[in-house]
Chains A and B, each alone.
Chain A
């Protein structure tokens, strides 16, 4: 039997001299109908370019197929070489036989058309449906991807839906043509863990139902284990290993595969937490947050009256201890970042107290942001970048300050030569090291790390985490570590606070919270974390909606009731 797709020696290049410097350097694989192939690799491995070559969308990004063949079996038994097909043949195949979903649900839907119109268009183009039939099909498609009130949602514009909802709309659209092959390019990377689990469950369910083949691009080995039949590992444009899922995961042959498997932080249910927590007697609180509440009024203006408020953070209480990491976990919109911003004084607390010990310098709290590419001014040299916090604190740029810069650069694994260079001359991991060094310039007591390793490749991520742990013990820093990645949290946190809908629902020692979650949300969150050990497993589709944060004017929540689950482990009582 001929496979659905047979790719041989595929080479893809970019720009004017596409053949001279290919990004994909001879990739070959077979994909049988109904099977799932996972392509795994880090950024720059060529995995996304490979995926975009299969439906030739790569042409529109300036790419060019410079060699090889892609034999695609058509339903009528004929075989089309996609590598040499012309644009009109490709337009006929896209959507109809090869569907695709992308990484960025927030930007992948057209903002000026309703989601209904966009799904209907797919049915019109690929199934020849029109008018009421297309509309009915669109509603059914939305129901199939488990969007509640589908008929109503058809009239929504993309910006009125959450990321998870938008990705479901994308899936509904990609499946409209009943494709025999679905390409999913990191479809859950931009989503929260619980939403990721829902999308994965949905994909697995639909795939079985429709007997569709799938190419699944990801950097996450844990996700791969849950869905793939075959795994192909790519590094710098070449395939380094390919085989059945179990073989690749259990006995990897290539050094790079082994390295990837080791570097990926695996969530081990609280078994891998740090043990270097400061002893009870010497714990010194540097920041005490008591009943922090942040609300943003909505409505209001020239004529309209204030109609209510977004209760972003509600009654949050915790201490930050020198030498200790408190991790805040929760999904987007749960109030993690707003809490951090309040501690830094970037947003005003509506209520509650944040007490900061005077500390070693005038500026005890510093911050490292998520995106190392966006958080360094591209026009400044590293020296000017590192001088900025000092200048802001009224210090002079002198030999002593430069000495400190060199000292810190060396501590984060960079050399003094870096001072004269510009941010674009560094890799993502190096830039994040620069951001960390800059945050330490004023000798702070507390560093707030807002998703500080989320944008980094797994192997880089592991090294930056190690660096953070070293710096913490060397300088006795307290970390407030905000993350959605439970495996990363397990590696760096001493204590964990779980936030849900603006409130802390569970807080305590990392080992206790991660191994014996008490609150229903914490349990859901931990169950959603993909694990290597769970192969081809069916997640349950859970569509519990998050409660709205928008409350009417004058609304006050009930005071929280807590249960002590254990020593240093408490959870909010659920209604």
Chain B
């Protein structure tokens, strides 16, 4: 498959570009790991001690040399050592990633499960009460900030139902599926609400376009029942923009959802990255950003493959 090979070839180039950008930009922020770790007490360090620490962390070298060292490590699968955690960066990321991945998948299932049918309904009932209702809810979903939705959910759950989801530590699905779901479903709804709103709006717009296409008229002319016209003839043609949007949103979610993770006290990739930046944990920041960029590349590739699966003109090439 030459197309796939071509796409995979561009991956390392993009990743090197991303790593360069993050490597140099994080070093432009004032302060360093030693100051961040010791706070005001770092002033008590003698120059010799400070030099020794810098040597230990490898930040005494010129930036280019540091980059070269780091890059050669990455090539061998070693993302370096986190200063704050004292453990390999890759290990930390892989610990946090299952939560983030599960949360993103769950949100997307909610978003597509609600958004696509709602959008289709609104399009087929265009300008009728059900369409207007769907559009108002979608507008609310898009314009309400995630922390508001999250806080309202927590408030309602705890005050009216006396339920407090597990916070702080993550219960993996393979340990206790029910506890895992109880922990993730509400953050997923919080994220999925806004996501579903976007999916609804784009599905509606795309369906409206497609429903006035000639081939939909053809389907009606040959006596295809209404439901089948909508789901079998129109929907597959309307999905391309939905896939595009979902891909972008899913890519963002894989980078972690900082605010929702914060509200529900979940140890996800978003908080890990944020904390690493605060701690000037260079290796961890670089590792996280590289990992997030890699996820984006994979998601984009999946989106393109989904296009091909949906549309034979893309799959087989236009004449």
**Residues in A lying within 8 Å of B, measured CB to CB:** 55, 57, 60-61, 87, 91-96, 99-100, 102, 104, 107-114, 121-122, 125-126, 157, 159-160, 170, 173-174, 176-177, 301-304
- Chain B residues within an 8 Å CB radius of A96: 223
Whether the pair B222, A108 counts as a contact (CB closer than 8 A) is no
Pick from A104, A126, A157, A301: contact of B222, CB below 8 A: A126
Interface membership of B221, Cβ < 8 A: yes
| CA A112 to CA B219, docked complex, whole Å | 13
Whether the pair A100, B221 counts as a contact (CB closer than 8 A) is yes
Whether the pair B222, A112 counts as a contact (CB closer than 8 A) is no
Interface membership of B128, Cβ < 8 A: no
Whether the pair A110, B222 counts as a contact (CB closer than 8 A) is no
Does more than half of chain B's interface fall in helix, strand or loop, or is it mixed? helix
Interface membership of B60, Cβ < 8 A: no
Of A99, A108, A110, A157, most buried by chain B (CB within 10 Å of CB) is A110
Interface membership of B48, Cβ < 8 A: no
Q: Which residues of chain B from 215 to 238 have a CB within 8 Å of any chain A CB? A: 215, 217-226, 233, 236-237
Whether the pair A177, B222 counts as a contact (CB closer than 8 A) is yes
- Chain A residues within an 8 Å CB radius of B310: 112
- Chain B residues within an 8 Å CB radius of A157: 312-313, 316
- Chain B residues within an 8 Å CB radius of A108: 214-215, 217-218
Pick from B213, B222, B236: contact of A125, CB below 8 A: B222
Interface membership of B28, Cβ < 8 A: no
| B201 to A: closest C-beta gap in Å | 23
Interface membership of B159, Cβ < 8 A: no
- Kindly list 18 other residue pairs between chains A and B, CB separation below 8 angstroms, not including A60-B220, A159-B318: A99-B221, A99-B222, A107-B213, A110-B219, A110-B233, A111-B313, A112-B236, A112-B237, A114-B312, A121-B224, A157-B312, A159-B313, A159-B316, A159-B319, A173-B218, A302-B9, A303-B2, A304-B2
Interface membership of B55, Cβ < 8 A: no
Whether the pair B5, A102 counts as a contact (CB closer than 8 A) is no
Of B9, B218, B224, B225, most buried by chain A (CB within 10 Å of CB) is B218
Pick from B213, B217, B223: contact of A126, CB below 8 A: B223
- Chain B residues within an 8 Å CB radius of A302: 2, 6, 9
Q: List 22 A-B contacts (CB under 8 A).
A: A57-B220, A60-B217, A94-B220, A95-B222, A95-B224, A102-B218, A108-B214, A109-B215, A111-B312, A112-B311, A121-B224, A126-B222, A159-B312, A159-B313, A159-B318, A159-B319, A173-B218, A173-B222, A176-B222, A301-B6, A302-B6, A304-B2
| CA A68 to CA B217, docked complex, whole Å | 24
4 shortest interchain CB distances as A-B pairs: A95-B223, A95-B222, A94-B223, A107-B214
Whether the pair A303, B312 counts as a contact (CB closer than 8 A) is no
- Chain B residues within an 8 Å CB radius of A125: 222-224
Pick from B9, B218, B225, B318: contact of A109, CB below 8 A: B218
**Contact count band on B:** 20 to 34
- Chain A residues within an 8 Å CB radius of B318: 159
Q: In chain B, what residue has the closest Cβ to A59?
A: B220
Q: In chain A, what residue has the closest Cβ to B5?
A: A303
Q: In chain B, what residue has the closest Cβ to A98?
A: B221
- Chain A residues within an 8 Å CB radius of B212: 61
| CA A201 to CA B296, docked complex, whole Å | 56
| CA A170 to CA B218, docked complex, whole Å | 9
- Chain B residues within an 8 Å CB radius of A122: 222-223
The answer to whether A93 and B223 touch (CB under 8 A), given A112-B310, A159-B319, is yes
| CA A92 to CA B221, docked complex, whole Å | 10
Q: Which residues of chain B from 277 to 319 have a CB within 8 Å of any chain A CB? A: 310-313, 316, 318-319
| CA A99 to CA B6, docked complex, whole Å | 47
| B220 to A: closest C-beta gap in Å | 6
- Chain A residues within an 8 Å CB radius of B9: 302
Q: In chain A, what residue has the closest Cβ to B2?
A: A303
Whether the pair A102, B222 counts as a contact (CB closer than 8 A) is no
| A247 to B: closest C-beta gap in Å | 32
Whether the pair B217, A160 counts as a contact (CB closer than 8 A) is no
| CA A87 to CA B225, docked complex, whole Å | 10
- Chain B residues within an 8 Å CB radius of A99: 221-222
The answer to whether A104 and B214 touch (CB under 8 A), given A111-B237, A126-B222, is yes
Whether the pair B217, A102 counts as a contact (CB closer than 8 A) is yes
| CA A57 to CA B5, docked complex, whole Å | 47
| CA A304 to CA B3, docked complex, whole Å | 9
Of B2, B217, B225, most buried by chain A (CB within 10 Å of CB) is B217
- Chain B residues within an 8 Å CB radius of A102: 214, 217-218, 221
Q: Which residues of chain B from 193 to 220 have a CB within 8 Å of any chain A CB? A: 212-215, 217-220
Of B220, B233, B311, B318, most buried by chain A (CB within 10 Å of CB) is B220
| CA A421 to CA B226, docked complex, whole Å | 44
| CA A160 to CA B313, docked complex, whole Å | 9
Q: In chain B, what residue has the closest Cβ to A96?
A: B223
- Chain A residues within an 8 Å CB radius of B222: 94-95, 99, 121-122, 125-126, 173-174, 176-177
| A95 to B: closest C-beta gap in Å | 3
Pick from A91, A159, A160: contact of B225, CB below 8 A: A91
| A129 to B: closest C-beta gap in Å | 14
Pick from A110, A160, A177, A304: contact of B223, CB below 8 A: A177
- Chain B residues within an 8 Å CB radius of A55: 221
| A258 to B: closest C-beta gap in Å | 34
- Chain B residues within an 8 Å CB radius of A110: 215, 218-219, 233, 237
